[in-house]
Structure 1
Amino acid sequence: MASIFTRIINGEIPSYKIAENDRYIAILDAFPLVKGHVLVIPKQEVDKLFELDKETYSGLMDFAYDIAQAVEKAIPCLRVGVAVIGLEVPHVHVHLVPLNTMNDINFTQPKMKISPEEMNEISEKIKSYL
């Protein structure tokens, strides 16, 4: 069965897309820790980060680098944190989280609820820096 990310990539589930190419996609996290929390995902459905071939892994990190640069310009923060957890969805994904405190990247905290209008605004602002 396809992961939720594969279903998003295939257009079966809507998302707030930041960027996409033939191998990777970046979307706003639907259940963000903070405003501007982005997921960077390879289109190839692989469960674990270190199961990716080196070329796909390197390409994922290069793609994430460009997205992180845009996030840092678009969202007021001290820096952009990076996390790869992978326990909730069996499809590699990199979390890019705007940080102002250590708690901003605490995955045990309740997730934010952001209106669709604000999610669109955040998405457009990040995209404007790409």
Structure 2
Amino acid sequence: MPTVFTRILQGELPARFVWKDELCAVFMSIAPLRPGHALVVPRAEVDHWIDLPSATAAHLMTVAQLVGRAQQAAFSPTRIGLMIAGFEVPHVHVHVVPVDGMRDLDFANADGRAVAAELEAAAGRLRAALRGLPGPESARHVVDA
């Protein structure tokens, strides 16, 4: 049975995508820890990150780093947090979160009632910041709203 992320990647379920390439996609968390919280998800349905092919794992980190740079520009946090927990959905996903302290990475603080307009506004800011990063590679994979 496909995971919820596989169904999102296949277009069966909606998401606010900001990036798509041949190996992964990035979309906004529907229960953000902070505004701008994004998930980097491989297209391959792999449960545990240690089982990813090395090239895919490296690619996810490269994309997460680009997303983090864009979040820094768009949201001006103190830091960009990165987490691979893997308990919520049995499909690897990297949480990339603009943070001002460790408390901002506590899933007990997730906003399960996030407003669609706020999620879309955060996605728009992130898309714009991704397009503004140096190099043509970044802009080529940014998804239009």
What TM-score do you get using the length of structure 1 for normalisation? 0.95
What do you get for the CA RMSD once the two structures are aligned? 1.1
Structure 1 CA distance, aligned partners of 2:8 and 2:110? Answer: 23
Aligned to 2:64: 64
Deviates more, 1:102-111 or 1:91-100: 102-111
Q: 1:1-130 alignment to 2 at 5 Å?
A: 1-130=1-130
Contact 2:32 2:110 in 1 (8 A): no
Deviation at 1:95, TM superposition (A): 0.3
**1 or 2, which has the higher helix percentage?**
2
Contact 1:41 1:60 in 2 (8 A): yes
Q: What letter is aligned with 2:105?
A: I
Structure 1 residues 30-64: Cα deviation after superposition (integer angstroms, max 9, x where no partner):
01111111100000000000100111111111111
Aligned residues with identical type, % of pairs: 33
Structure 2 unaligned regions, length at least 5: 131-145
Structure 2 CA distance, aligned partners of 1:16 and 1:3? Answer: 17
Structure 1 CA distance, aligned partners of 2:54 and 2:12? Answer: 29
Contact 2:31 2:110 in 1 (8 A): no
SS of 2:120's partner is helix
Aligned length: 130
SS of 2:107's partner is coil
Question: 4+ residue stretches of structure 1 with deviation over 4 A?
Answer: none
Structure 1 unaligned regions, length at least 5: none
